[in-house]
Amino acid sequence: MVFIGFMKYLTYTVCVFLFAFFSQSGAADTHSKMEAWFKNFKTTATPQQMYNFVRALPKGGDLHHHLTGSMYSEWWYELASNPASNGGYEYFTRVELLPCRGYNSDEFSPNSQFFYFKTIQKSNYETLSACEKSTYKSLSELSPKEKNGFLSSIRLDEPHEDRKEFFERHWQRLGDMTRNPIIRSKLLLRKMQSYKQQNVSYLETISNPSGFVHPDGSYIAPESVLTLFKDMLNSPEAKATGVTVRFQISILRFSGFAEKALVSAFEFIDNNRDYYVAINFVGREDDGRGHPLRFLKTLRELRLHFPKINLSIHGGESVEPNKHVKDTLLIGATRIGHGLNSIMDPDTLLLLRNGKYLIETNLISNYKLKYITDFKKHPFPEYLRVGIPVALSTDDNGMWDSTFSDEFYVAIKEYNLSWQELTEMITNSIAFSYLDDTSKEEHMTQLDKSLKKFMKARLANKKLTDVTPERSFICEYDNQLCES
């Protein structure tokens, strides 16, 4: 099959793939048997057996993924505390709160970041007053108690923590660590290795090429950062994972320079389309300065000069009804991140049902940020079962201390997914990706083979290896799994 245009042939692609998957000689019968097998399996499987199943399941791609937010706190600490492995950077984190009034102190500023475990690199530490320096400690010299505090500070692991803590503290605590391209590159490799273990073949992640600095604080050009990432992605270690990676550039929607950043993003992506595939507007939607239509004029001007650049935009990540998802479609998005409140807007639901749009569903994210208080209140099954294309993804799973497999575990347990629904979502994650046509065809073909192999093994009742849950979220969700 030749792909000649995402927007024109996406629906056709999905249909043809599913037809081929289920209608080749013997495949329809195999699918029918697998549907019956899975229905029985769901009612008889122990938590451990179900977790083994979702770990081994070929998952396609993760399409809604913030690179820095997806990394586990232990990974950050290991790299940031060791200059020998992070490019010679040394980091200091705040372990005391004192009323210093030095020139560089921030506790009295309108945008105060006066809280524990804000992390800065040595070049910024050296600019602080003596009093301010006394409130910081090198990451490599933290006591066990301080280290545990640091690790906890970038996870949502306390009952009182919600989206306020997440948006106003977690990212700021990561601080200068996110500006080290070597740390970022090594973290990405670890994520790819983790995804190989979870049978994920594609990762489309948000990671801007700008804002990086050397140990002395001097600026690193975006092109140099991309070269570093390319070298890593083409290394034997990365190739061994079998995971393909593409990047998006994020625009902080409510910032005063968002339009200028949008222009720069178009220019950079146009010159680096082999690795950068889309733009994404991020940031809290309840900040009115970032409403989608703010960018319509700039986008229309840019489209006069640049060939198509994909938009995969956060929309509807809110518990209040609004027109953000509809407006996000208007400005050109083909994928909607979250789409939670679309359930409240009948006109937008009709658009999503009858258009070529995907909702990137992040169940655990929406739960941890308390946009929903119960998974049963999530609109995901309604979207899935009225024909709106959906795909599961992870968002900032390092901060939820969860995995991609956990998303599937929750979805199956909460919504009684059928085998048809599972394979439909998994297929969507490649069909709606922003891979080029040739790469997309290759991934679809490989996914077809992987799913058929998986079905054959399950129908033959081949035992899956017991897998110990890696992260804390899934044990909180189903304590029987971690007791078994």
Question: Could you state, in order of their start, the residue ranges of all structural domains in the chain?
Answer: 55-70+181-450, 73-175
Of residues 22 and 142, which shows the higher confidence score? 142
pLDDT recorded at residue 7: 44
> C-alpha distances in angstroms, 221 versus 68, 90, 98, 212, 227?
19, 21, 36, 8, 10
pLDDT value for 114? 81
Instruction: List CB contacts of 62: < 8 A, sequence separation 6 or more.
Output: 195, 200, 202, 203, 204, 205, 393, 394, 404, 429
- Per the model's pLDDT, the better-predicted residue between 357 and 5 turns out to be 357
Residues 6+ apart with CB under 8 A from 160: none
Largest CA distance in the chain: 76
Kindly tell me if the per-residue pLDDT of 21 is higher than 80: no
CA distance 53 to 48: 9
What is the dotted CATH code of the domain comprising 55-70+181-450?
A: 3.20.20.140
pLDDT of 483:
80
- Residue 194: the pLDDT is 98
Q: Across residues 192-210, what is the average pLDDT?
A: 98
Give CA separation, 166 vs 110, 155, 171, 293, 318, in Å: 19, 9, 7, 26, 15
What DSSP designation does 191 have? H
Percent of the chain with pLDDT over 90: 86
Q: pLDDT grade, residue 370 (50/70/90)?
A: very high
pLDDT digits (tens, 9 = 90+) for 207-234: 999 999 999 999 999 999 999 999 999 9
Q: Is 67 helix (H, G, I), strand (E, B) or coil?
A: coil
- pLDDT tens for 404-436 read 999 999 999 999 999 999 999 999 999 999 999
d(CA 392, CA 380): 10
CA distances from 306 to 264, 302, 310, 387 (A): 12, 6, 11, 33
Q: Please tell me the pTM assigned to this model.
A: 0.93
Secondary structure (DSSP) of 266-287: HHHHHH-TTTEEEEEEES-TTS
Concatenating the DSSP letter of every residue in 420-444 gives HHHHHHHHHHHHTS---HHHHHHHH
- Encode pLDDT of 32-90 as tens digits: 999 999 999 999 999 999 999 999 999 999 999 999 999 999 999 999 999 999 999 99
Q: Which two three-digit tokens encode residue 366? A: 């929406």
Angle ∠(478,35,3) on CA atoms, nearest 5? 100
Q: Give CA angle at 25 (23, 30), nearest 5°.
A: 70
pLDDT one-digit tens code per residue, 377-414: 999 999 999 999 999 999 999 999 999 999 999 999 99
Q: Report the distance separating Cα 255 and Cα 90, nearest Å.
A: 29
Query: Would you say residue 24 has pLDDT above 60?
Result: no
Tell whether the model's pLDDT for residue 22 goes beyond 80: no
Tracing tokens 């490019």 back to the chain, one arrives at 87
What pLDDT was estimated at residue 28? 80
Arithmetic mean of pLDDT over the chain: 92
User: pLDDT tens across 330-351, in order?
Assistant: 999 999 999 999 999 999 999 9
27-44 and 437-459 are packed helices; what angle lies between their axes, rounded to 10 degrees? 60
A 10 A CB-CB count for 4 gives: 8
Residue pair 412/39 in contact by the 8 Å Cβ criterion = no
State how far the Cα of 85 lies from the Cα of 471, in Å rounded to an integer.
Answer: 24
Mean pLDDT of 6-35: 62
Q: What is the pLDDT of residue 13?
A: 55
pLDDT band at 4 (very low <50, low <70, confident <90, very high): very low
Hey, CA dihedral for 189, 407, 319, 332, is it positive or negative? positive
The pLDDT-based confidence of 99 (bands split at 50, 70, 90) is confident
Compare 202 and 6 and report the one with higher pLDDT. Answer: 202
pLDDT at 106: 57
Q: Specify the residue for token string 């306020």.
A: 164
Lowest mean pLDDT among 96-105, 124-133, 182-191, 284-293: 96-105
What is the crossing angle of helices 27-44 and 419-431, to 10°?
A: 110
Residue 321 tokens read as 């009804």
In 307-403, alpha helices (H):
324-330, 346-354, 363-368, 380-385, 397-400
How many Å is the Cα radius of gyration of the chain?
A: 23
The whole-number pLDDT of residue 2 equals 41
Query: pLDDT by residue (tens digit) across 294-312?
Result: 999 999 999 999 999 999 9
